[in-house]
Amino acid sequence: MPYDFDLIRELSRELGFACAQPSPNELAIALDAQATLAIVNADSEGDSLIGFESAGGWHYHGDLQCSDPRGNYIDLDYVGVLTGLADGTVLICEGWEAGALRERWLVHCDYMDGLRYLPVSEEIRIRRARPTMGIPTGRRQPS
Q: Name the 3-class secondary structure at 79.
A: helix
pLDDT tens for 91-110 read 999 999 999 999 999 999 99
Q: Which residues of 28-40 are buried (b: 16+ CB within 10 A; e: fewer)?
A: bbbbbeebbbbbb
Residue 133 lies in a domain: no
For residue 135, name the pLDDT band (cuts at 50, 70, 90).
very low
Residue 41 lies in a domain: yes
Residue 52 lies in a domain: yes
* Per-residue model confidence (pLDDT) at position 40: 93
Find how far residue 67's CA is from the centre of its chain.
16
Residue 45 lies in a domain: yes
Q: Which domain holds residue 59?
A: 5-127
Which residues, including other chains, have CB under 8 Å from residue 6's CB and lie 6 or more apart? none
* Per-residue model confidence (pLDDT) at position 93: 93
Q: Say yes or no to pLDDT of 139 above 80.
A: no
* Per-residue model confidence (pLDDT) at position 133: 57
* Per-residue model confidence (pLDDT) at position 10: 96
Residue 31 lies in a domain: yes
For residue 131, name the pLDDT band (cuts at 50, 70, 90).
confident
Residue 143 lies in a domain: no
Residue 135 lies in a domain: no
Residue of higher predicted confidence among 29 and 54: 29
pLDDT tens for 70-88 read 889 999 999 999 999 999 9
For residue 143, name the pLDDT band (cuts at 50, 70, 90).
very low
Give the chain's domain count. 1
* Per-residue model confidence (pLDDT) at position 45: 60
Residue 134 lies in a domain: no
CA of 23: how far to CAs of 90, 110, 129, in Å? 26, 34, 24
pLDDT tens for 10-50 read 999 999 999 999 999 999 999 998 999 999 998 776 678 99
* Per-residue model confidence (pLDDT) at position 5: 95
